[in-house]
Chains A and B, each alone.
Chain A
């Protein structure tokens, strides 16, 4: 029915949903650990684990299925009040959650599933100790497999980020188990009108139930319209089935896992013990005709007979849809183009026409569309924060340190592209904080602190930047040791005079590591170096503040989006370039004599008593060879680069400052050293965006653009 690639795609969706489910479950569990054990929270965790279980069965991830099933059982008991959600239970569940994430990962990357025997035993222990427990029915693991086989389409049915996609809540199990004589189950099933359109073939569900020993006792065809009004895409029937009383209700409900939302599903013990005779079966013969039908606008005929109390209406979840990122990018591209066309149009119109109301209106509308499209790519930073608690738990158990996490501003929204790239720096910063910042409980007590260390993770938006900080209340940076280490590693000379800030910054220097022994957490000597280069590659900065004995704070300043850059438009030989404003320190129109040659090819500028190297932009790009124009006729922009510190870049003039949409050169060509991309200016022409770091890199890395003069 579906090719491999199709299946892979559906699997991909499943794992995306797993990731979302895990996030929800973790948030819920963390809330429980923090003391919020309200029914909503527990139910949220349950639903999340439940949907992971459902999908894992459908895709034959047996290990994941088995584990999630057991986990779900425990959650179900917690939800039903049979297991009190006390601290120990919550902790066990948090641990179980970690194992579950490992299972998902193993299934996703086809690695060996984690060893979950110990965890399963703990979960079982919980189940056994629950108050007044009735012996659990054995785990019905395989029950779902057939569903999966019949339904190749499965996860497509519920691709909405609705953690209750099935329109029902499998509650109330426990009540019935305690009945002495198990009365037969009576199941009423009316697929929603949309079920067939979504590929939800009701017959497969009926067969599934029949395979479990069920019999169809009645088919309600009262909703069936006249033949000419029949819509083949609609379902009109409501089936009634009887199932043996000893069946587990959950097993029955599992059959409906992949039924479209809004379907009528009632599972109840029939009050009258003898099942109704096989009456009413005649309408079944109508079935072939039943498929075709016509939309009846007036009412939805299916399944509107009063739902039983057990069938809770689907919770009103936020309506969301999945959109491929590439489509959003395309939209953003087109809107950017629209903005450009707008200004071209404005340029072509006479001044009185330009000032008429229509044009400014159009411009404003276009800007609004642009902002909206940008906001579509924005995601709460929570997504990046969500993996921190797990990491901290692991770190805490590895190091024996006790750490409490505080998060602030996790709803702050950032562009998806930024979000994807801050994960790694964040991980390194947290690891660093636990490994080097927070002391062991004994040391902390000795220092008069609480034995538990605190790591505070915060995010806030400041203008067009997002500030993410990680602070710990540990021992702070040991500047004496850092300095000694830097001297030892040859990063600084022994007699260098450094300020505290400069010493702190050394820990971000390449190849620096002060860890006495190399732990498996940090100390590979790449950590903070990687953080810094990753963040700077994003157009951000890293700052470090440390107070000995009180703790250290790492601050990342990041752009809100990677698609738009705040730039300065400069001219070189009549060609326009964009200089990222983040790199610009100041601009200077040199006085005569302020720029001095130190060799035939090198120059320096004297600035407030110190000398900075000056590079001629025209030379860097090989434009206008042997350009020896007077520095006084140029503008020097002091830029800051990671590799070369402050450097003066000589350009002809500065046009203006504006936000530009970054277009990558790789899309159709390949990256070019010294260029961060290109942008399209208001007149439709292209300006190249300079990559300052690559451009002013010190001699060993310096590549002069000699292959081709840039001016035609």
Chain B
């Protein structure tokens, strides 16, 4: 922490939205977030990868809903009462991500972000970096947890799917 504090500059603060998929906590840049909606069964689409759950109506626009866990290669999320959809804007296109539970909005320092270890065996990495945050829990003081910051551009549907579209 000391190094981070030394290099801390006010401009490098950023807000992230944290959420869970399974037992793992993820974060995305707050600026990309449009809204958080309750889970609603989307209209399924034919001829798309399994992680695209379908499309939903977001104020008159047809927006795809992505099972983020499957997209990242984890076990598909089970829908429960706290399941929700994070609607984000990636390069001007909107997409909804199904997540297990939205946790918090936290402020982190850009300097605190560590590069993701290059262990991603899949295609290109969708993890922009790792950061430690303190959890707002009632009891434990040492409730630090690691957050995987997602690289939204790498998650862009249009980018990944151009070959499938044909």
Knowing A333-B60, A686-B43, A712-B41, say if A668 contacts B48 (CB, 8 Å): no
Knowing A669-B157, A669-B161, say if A333 contacts B61 (CB, 8 Å): yes
Contacts of B80 in A (CB 8 A): none
Separation of A500 and B86 alpha carbons in the complex (Å): 60
Overall SS of chain B's interface: mixed
Knowing A663-B62, A678-B62, say if A686 contacts B47 (CB, 8 Å): no
* Chain A contacts with B in 122-172, Cβ cutoff 8 A: none
Contacts of B63 in A (CB 8 A): 668
**Residue contact A667 to B46, C-beta cutoff 8 Å:** no
* Chain B contacts with A in 32-82, Cβ cutoff 8 A: 41-50, 52-57, 59-64
Which residue in chain A gives the minimum CB-CB distance to B160?
A: A670
**Residue contact B95 to A668, C-beta cutoff 8 Å:** yes
Contacts of A710 in B (CB 8 A): 44-46
Most buried by A among B46, B57, B158: B46
Separation of A705 and B52 alpha carbons in the complex (Å): 14
Produce 1/0 per residue, A649-683, CB < 8 A to B: 00000000000000111011111111101101000
**Residue contact A705 to B47, C-beta cutoff 8 Å:** yes
**Residue contact A621 to B46, C-beta cutoff 8 Å:** yes
Knowing A667-B62, A672-B165, say if A708 contacts B41 (CB, 8 Å): no
Knowing A667-B93, A670-B158, say if A334 contacts B60 (CB, 8 Å): yes
Q: Is A337 an interface residue (CB 8 A)?
A: yes
Separation of A703 and B63 alpha carbons in the complex (Å): 24
* Of the residues B46, B56, B59, contact of A672 by C-beta under 8 Å: B46
Separation of A621 and B43 alpha carbons in the complex (Å): 13
Q: Is B137 an interface residue (CB 8 A)?
A: no
Q: Is B83 an interface residue (CB 8 A)?
A: no
Separation of A664 and B53 alpha carbons in the complex (Å): 18
Produce 1/0 per residue, A304-319, CB < 8 A to B: 0000000000000000
Q: Is A447 an interface residue (CB 8 A)?
A: no
Contacts of A686 in B (CB 8 A): 42-43, 55-57, 62
Knowing A670-B162, A672-B45, say if A336 contacts B60 (CB, 8 Å): yes
**Residue contact B47 to A674, C-beta cutoff 8 Å:** yes
Which residue in chain B gives the minimum CB-CB distance to A336?
A: B60
* Of the residues A340, A708, A711, contact of B48 by C-beta under 8 Å: A708
A328 to chain B, nearest CB (A): 14
**Residue contact A672 to B57, C-beta cutoff 8 Å:** no
Separation of A336 and B59 alpha carbons in the complex (Å): 10
Which residue in chain B gives the minimum CB-CB distance to A673?
A: B47
**Residue contact A668 to B45, C-beta cutoff 8 Å:** no
Which residue in chain A gives the minimum CB-CB distance to B51?
A: A708
Count A/B pairs, Cβ under 8 Å.
Answer: 97
**Residue contact A622 to B46, C-beta cutoff 8 Å:** yes
**Residue contact A707 to B49, C-beta cutoff 8 Å:** yes
**Residue contact B47 to A708, C-beta cutoff 8 Å:** yes
Separation of A345 and B44 alpha carbons in the complex (Å): 26
Contacts of A675 in B (CB 8 A): 45-46
Separation of A575 and B55 alpha carbons in the complex (Å): 13
Contacts of A340 in B (CB 8 A): 60
* Of the residues A334, A665, A673, A712, contact of B55 by C-beta under 8 Å: A665
Q: Is A684 an interface residue (CB 8 A)?
A: yes
**Residue contact B60 to A668, C-beta cutoff 8 Å:** no
A664 to chain B, nearest CB (A): 8
Q: Is A687 an interface residue (CB 8 A)?
A: yes
Produce 1/0 per residue, B88-107, CB < 8 A to A: 00000111000000000000
Knowing A667-B62, A671-B165, say if A680 contacts B57 (CB, 8 Å): yes
**Residue contact B47 to A672, C-beta cutoff 8 Å:** yes
Contacts of B41 in A (CB 8 A): 712
Q: Is A601 an interface residue (CB 8 A)?
A: no
Q: Is A685 an interface residue (CB 8 A)?
A: yes
Produce 1/0 per residue, A575-591, CB < 8 A to B: 10000000000000000
Q: Please, how many residues of chain A have a CB less than 8 angstroms from a CB on the other chain?
A: 36
Separation of A2 and B46 alpha carbons in the complex (Å): 49
Separation of A678 and B58 alpha carbons in the complex (Å): 13
Q: Is A74 an interface residue (CB 8 A)?
A: no
Contacts of B50 in A (CB 8 A): 707-708
Contacts of A708 in B (CB 8 A): 44-50
Separation of A343 and B43 alpha carbons in the complex (Å): 20
**Residue contact A337 to B59, C-beta cutoff 8 Å:** yes
Contacts of A677 in B (CB 8 A): 62
Contacts of B164 in A (CB 8 A): 670
**Residue contact B55 to A703, C-beta cutoff 8 Å:** no
Separation of A379 and B95 alpha carbons in the complex (Å): 34
Most buried by A among B45, B53, B63, B162: B45
Contacts of B54 in A (CB 8 A): 712
A619 to chain B, nearest CB (A): 11
Separation of A678 and B54 alpha carbons in the complex (Å): 11
**Residue contact B46 to A674, C-beta cutoff 8 Å:** yes
Separation of A708 and B161 alpha carbons in the complex (Å): 15
Most buried by B among A670, A673, A707: A670
**Residue contact A687 to B43, C-beta cutoff 8 Å:** yes
Contacts of A669 in B (CB 8 A): 52, 55, 62, 64, 93, 157-158, 161
Q: Is A688 an interface residue (CB 8 A)?
A: yes
Most buried by A among B48, B50, B56, B62: B62
Which residue in chain A gives the minimum CB-CB distance to B49?
A: A707
B77 to chain A, nearest CB (A): 13
Separation of A58 and B47 alpha carbons in the complex (Å): 53
Which residue in chain B gives the minimum CB-CB distance to A334?
A: B60
**Residue contact B47 to A670, C-beta cutoff 8 Å:** no
Which residue in chain A gives the minimum CB-CB distance to B64?
A: A669
B47 to chain A, nearest CB (A): 5
**Residue contact B48 to A672, C-beta cutoff 8 Å:** yes
Which residue in chain B gives the minimum CB-CB distance to A330?
A: B60
**B residues touching A (Cβ–Cβ < 8 Å)?**
41-50, 52-57, 59-64, 93-95, 157-158, 161-162, 164-165
Can you list 15 pairs linking A and B with CB atoms under 8 Å apart? Answer: A340-B60, A621-B46, A622-B46, A663-B60, A668-B61, A668-B63, A675-B46, A677-B62, A678-B43, A680-B60, A708-B45, A708-B47, A708-B48, A712-B41, A712-B44
9 closest residue pairs by CB, A with B: A337-B60, A705-B46, A686-B43, A670-B165, A705-B47, A663-B62, A669-B64, A678-B62, A710-B44
**A residues touching B (Cβ–Cβ < 8 Å)?**
333-334, 336-337, 340, 575, 620-622, 663-665, 667-675, 677-678, 680, 684-688, 703, 705, 707-708, 710-712
Given contacts A663-B60, A671-B165, A707-B47, 9 further A-B contacts (CB under 8 A): A668-B95, A669-B64, A674-B47, A685-B43, A688-B43, A707-B46, A707-B48, A710-B44, A712-B53
